Structure formats: structure tokens, C-alpha cells
């Protein structure tokens, strides 16, 4: 037996809340860069209060374009555990810019050296399923076979299933195959971290996520998968000749199938996500004249605990000491 120790995810949620509160001011205003920058600035300031010696493995921007939370940047106070950090200050910048649902702010953390470094990879093929189906699917199997296997594992019929797919030209054949198999589809323009989490959440109508999305988003999703179960099967899937050549020059095996356990090798993960634009899965930021309400998901790998947190922020108190100007 162990005495309860510190749940770092409960500190990280303050980071995603800060990013969500700041970026939500840009909801529907058509400027995705401004919304993203607001989230980055708030996230960086909030990380300065977290007692970790963190290094960003999954970030955004380049060092010469700082402040952008670039790969290799050190975050946290420098004291406490040495951790790998994955961030997406706004997952779904276009969703935010156009006022569409499911833009979220996300942070994942795991012990130093445990996160997969995507290097020059931008895209990967993914198949995400809940715990009951983790041993039932194969990334190389036909779409119809995987859907039958998921349906059987979940005690459903194939036509009961809902599949999350990004609405991209590269998925035309995948969409056709899913429809031929008889399953239903939710098409989303962006947001495959949210899609992975929907597939894991028994309260959400999504049962499985399929298709090619971002490699950094895959590692972020793996932090959550390690915490709550389920499985991701993934393979690097370059979408341009230059990306393919860079991966080959790096000695990457483009045929290798990666699991969540290989994307994040430690089970001791921490994950936090806060809704920005809202949606059926995670509500967004709601402002009033005196404050705001945020809704977050917090996960801890060691215990498998999932928390949903509704936070009420009051400007007249918060702004007395906050370095982030929310109002």
C-alpha cells in the first residue's frame, strides 16, 4: 500500500485553463494565429508555477520564433521530477477562429525519456479503440474486419458504431469503406486528440477513431490512453515527398506499427484538457461580466482516475495576482 502522493495533473489543469480562458476571447473572430498566441503566452506563464523540470518533446513553433513553446524548451520551475512535456495550446485553431465546436487546450506529461520524439514526422495513421476492443483490431486489417471486431468487443452491431474521421481528401476511400461496412461516421474538420478521447470515453457516442492525423497529436493522445486504457495503433504516414525522404534519411522504418505503450513508454502519465469552443464532449469557456466558467478533463495514469472539473473563475479576485490578464 502507498500513501496518496501528489497528482501533477491537478496542477496541469491550471495550465490548460489559463490557455483556454485566454484563447477563448478569440472565438469566432477569424484570427487563428492570435488565438493560438494568446493560449501559448498564458500556458508559458502558468508553467512557471509548476514544480517540474520539464522539457517539451511535443510543442509548436521553432526556437527562433519564440515564444512558441518549441521542442526542447525547458518549462516549470526546474525543481521536482524530470518530465517530458507535450502541449497543444489550441488543438483546433481553425475551430476556434470560426467558432466551431471541440477546440481544446491540452497538456500531457510523462517521466523524462518516455515520450516518442516524432522528429521530422508530421502525420501518422491511427486506429484508436476503447479498452474492450484493444486486443481485437489490427491496423493492417480491412476496415470492415476491424469494425466487425470492435462491434463484437462492445456487444454491438456494426450499424450501431460511430467512427470519428477527419474530413480530409486523403480519407475519401476510408469514408467509403466505413459506409460500405454499415457503420456511422462523425466527420470533423480538425481535432484528432479530441477524437481519440471521444473513442475512449464510454459516455461519448464515438466508438472508434480511424484515419491519418498529426504525429504530435498521436503522442498527446497516447498520454491519455495510457491513463484510461484503450489502445492506439499507429504508423508514420508522410503526406509529402519531402516528409517521406526526411524520415527515410533519419533511418525510420515506415512499416513499423506503434502502440500507445511505445509512443509513451511509462504508464505514469498525467493529462489535462480544457474546452475552449465547446461541444458535446467537453463544454467550452463561458464568460460573464464578473468571470468565467471552464470545463476540463484530468487523467492520471498511475491510478487510472478520470476527473471532470468545472471551475468558476472570478475576475475581481483572480486579477489581483494573476500574471495572465483574462478580462
195 known member of a binding site: no
326 is in an annotated binding site: no
Domain ranges of the chain: 8-112+268-319, 123-263
User: Where is pLDDT greater, at 320 or 142?
Assistant: 142
On whether 100 is known to bind a ligand per the annotation, the reply is: no
91 in a known ligand binding site: yes
pLDDT in tens, 299-319: 999 999 999 999 999 988 877
36 is in an annotated binding site: yes
Q: Tens digit of pLDDT for each residue in 177-199?
A: 999 999 999 999 999 999 999 99
Does the pLDDT of residue 67 top 60, yes or no?
no
Query: Has 214 been labeled as part of a binding site?
Result: yes
8-112+268-319 and 123-263 in the same fold? no
pLDDT of residue 289: 85
CATH 3.40.50.1260 matches 8-112+268-319:
no
170 is in an annotated binding site: yes
**Per-residue pLDDT, 63:** 46
Rounded distance, CA 107 to CA 89, Å?
Answer: 8
Q: What is the pLDDT of residue 135?
A: 94
Mean pLDDT of the chain: 92
Does the annotation list 70 as a binding residue?
A: no
Determine what percent of the chain is predicted with pLDDT higher than 90: 83
Assigned C-alpha cell, 172: 475519401
138 labeled part of a ligand binding site: no
253-291: pLDDT as tens digits: 999 999 999 999 999 999 999 999 988 889 999 999 899
Task: Determine if residue 60 is labeled as part of a ligand binding site.
Answer: yes
Residue 4: is its pLDDT beyond 80? no
93 annotated as ligand-binding = yes
Check whether domain 123-263 has CATH 3.40.190.90, yes or no: yes
The answer to whether the annotation marks 203 as part of a ligand binding site is: no
182 is in an annotated binding site: no
Amino acid at each position: 500500500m502507498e500513501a496518496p502522493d501528489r497528482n501533477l495533473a491537478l496542477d496541469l489543469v491550471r495550465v490548460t485553463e489559463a490557455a483556454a480562458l485566454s484563447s477563448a476571447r478569440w472565438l469566432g473572430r477569424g484570427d487563428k494565429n492570435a488565438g493560438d498566441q494568446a493560449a501559448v503566452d498564458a500556458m508559458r506563464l502558468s508553467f512557471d508555477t509548476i514544480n517540474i523540470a520539464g522539457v517539451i518533446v511535443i510543442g509548436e513553433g521553432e526556437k527562433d520564433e519564440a515564444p512558441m513553446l518549441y521542442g526542447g524548451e525547458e518549462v516549470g520551475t526546474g525543481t521536482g521530477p524530470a518530465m517530458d512535456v507535450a502541449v497543444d495550446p489550441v488543438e483546433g485553431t481553425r475551430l476556434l477562429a470560426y467558432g466551431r465546436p471541440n477546440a481544446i487546450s491540452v497538456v500531457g506529461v510523462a517521466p523524462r525519456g518516455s515520450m516518442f520524439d516524432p522528429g521530422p514526422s508530421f502525420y501518422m495513421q491511427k486506429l484508436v479503440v476503447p479498452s474492450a476492443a484493444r486486443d481485437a483490431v489490427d491496423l493492417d486489417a480491412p476496415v470492415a474486419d476491424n469494425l466487425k471486431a470492435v462491434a463484437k468487443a462492445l456487444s454491438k452491431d456494426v450499424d450501431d458504431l460511430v467512427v470519428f474521421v477527419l474530413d480530409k481528401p486523403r480519407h475519401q476511400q476510408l469514408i467509403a469503406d466505413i459506409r460500405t461496412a454499415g457503420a456511422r461516421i462523425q466527420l470533423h474538420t480538425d481535432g484528432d486528440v479530441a477524437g481519440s478521447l471521444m473513442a475512449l470515453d464510454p459516455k461519448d457516442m464515438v466508438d472508434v477513431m480511424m484515419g491519418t492525423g498529426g504525429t504530435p497529436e498521436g503522442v498527446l493522445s497516447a498520454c491519455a490512453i495510457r491513463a484510461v486504457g484503450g489502445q492506439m495503433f499507429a504508423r508514420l504516414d508522410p503526406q509529402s515527398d519531402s516528409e517521406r525522404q526526411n524520415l527515410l534519411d533519419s533511418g525510420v522504418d515506415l512499416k513499423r506499427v506503434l502502440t500507445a505503450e511505445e509512443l509513451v513508454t511509462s504508464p505514469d502519465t498525467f493529462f489535462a484538457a480544457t474546452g475552449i469552443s465547446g461541444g458535446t464532449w467537453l463544454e467550452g469557456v463561458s464568460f460573464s461580466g464578473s468571470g468565467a466558467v471552464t470545463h476540463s478533463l484530468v487523467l492520471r495514469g498511475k491510478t487510472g482516475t478520470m476527473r471532470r472539473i468545472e471551475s468558476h473563475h472570478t475576475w475581481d479576485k483572480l486579477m489581483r495576482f494573476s500574471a495572465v490578464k483574462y478580462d
